């Protein structure tokens, strides 16, 4: 069986995290925990949501070639640790929930192993409602996230698969089916 690096991207609020959680719960994939230089939010635990690093440490690791891909968002670095991914891929498929730029970098790094899945909401209105309902960002942060949606949606054509998350159970089943096909 060929284990794959599964990248899930799409606009903030599309439902990526919810779908990923379900795939993790059923053991379809294991998650890679990224490193970041942003400060932990309340309730976040080092090593669970992210490995929280100083800028100096992150830059040292970039220079050492420790990241499969990394990028800067909103003034902070975010990156995928290469050693963890390589180790896990011996045994199981790994899922990354990262933005489109990170997705393209992951694909360039592992073209044969990386599967790009784009998740989107059925409409802009649905997306805005979901973000608002989730309530994890204030209005300014929501606007910033929504301002990126146009760019992200333009990139979906460069993804291997596009899944519209209208009905959550159906979208989750479709993503699971894609992973099963790809790892067969």
Binding site for ligand 5GP (CB under 6 A): 34, 38, 69, 71, 73, 78-80, 97-99, 102
Q: Which is nearer to ligand 5GP, 44 or 177 (CB)?
A: 44
Closest approach, Cβ 4 to ligand 5GP, in A, equals 17
14 binds, options ligand 5GP, ligand ADP, none, Cβ within 5 to 8 A by partner type = ligand ADP
120 binds, options ligand ADP, ligand 5GP, none, Cβ within 5 to 8 A by partner type = none
Q: Residue 153 has which token pair?
A: 């949606």
15 binds, options ligand ADP, ligand 5GP, none, Cβ within 5 to 8 A by partner type = ligand ADP
Beta carbons within 10 angstroms of residue 55's beta carbon: 10
Residues in contact with ligand ADP, shown as a per-residue x/- string from 124 to 163 under the rule CB under 6 A: ------x--xx-----------------------------
Closest approach, Cβ 102 to ligand ADP, in A, equals 14
**Helical H segments across the chain, by residue range:** 16-25, 55-63, 82-89, 100-109, 124-134, 139-147, 149-154, 168-183
Closest approach, Cβ 184 to ligand 5GP, in A, equals 27
Q: Residue 68 has which token pair?
A: 């499969």
Task: Determine contact, residues 53/35, Cβ cutoff 8 Å.
Answer: yes
User: 3-state class of 87 per DSSP?
Assistant: helix
Closest approach, Cβ 14 to ligand ADP, in A, equals 4
- Confirm or reject binding of residue 12 to ligand ADP (CB under 6 A): yes
Closest approach, Cβ 78 to ligand 5GP, in A, equals 4
Exposed e or buried b for every residue in 142-154, given b needs 16+ CB within 10 A? Answer: beebbeebeebbe
Q: Which of 50, 78, 165, 174 binds ligand ADP (CB under 6 A)?
A: 165
Q: Which is nearer to ligand 5GP, 98 or 171 (CB)?
A: 98
d(C-alpha 183, C-alpha 1), whole Å:
6
Task: Determine contact, residues 162/120, Cβ cutoff 8 Å.
Answer: yes
* Residue (of 49, 18, 35) closest to 85 by Cα position: 35
């Amino acid at each position: 069986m060929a284990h794959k690096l599964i990248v899930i991207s799409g606009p903030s609020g599309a439902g990526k995290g919810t779908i990923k959680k379900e795939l993790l719960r059923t053991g379809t994939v294991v998650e890679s925990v990224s490193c970041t230089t942003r400060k932990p939010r309340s309730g976040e635990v080092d090593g669970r949501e992210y490995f929280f690093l100083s800028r100096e440490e992150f830059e040292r690791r970039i220079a050492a070639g420790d990241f499969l891909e990394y990028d800067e968002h909103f003034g902070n670095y975010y990156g995928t640790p290469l050693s963890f991914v390589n180790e896990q891929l011996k045994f199981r498929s790994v899922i990354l929930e990262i933005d489109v730029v990170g997705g393209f970098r992951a694909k360039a790094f592992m073209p044969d192993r990386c599967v790009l899945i784009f998740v989107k909401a059925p409409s802009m209105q649905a997306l805005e409602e979901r973000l608002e309902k989730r309530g994890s960002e204030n209005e300014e942060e929501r606007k910033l996230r929504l301002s990126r949606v146009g760019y992200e949606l333009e990139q979906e054509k460069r993804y291997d698969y596009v899944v519209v998350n209208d009905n959550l159970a159906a979208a989750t089943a479709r993503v699971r089916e894609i992973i099963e096909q790809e790892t067969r």
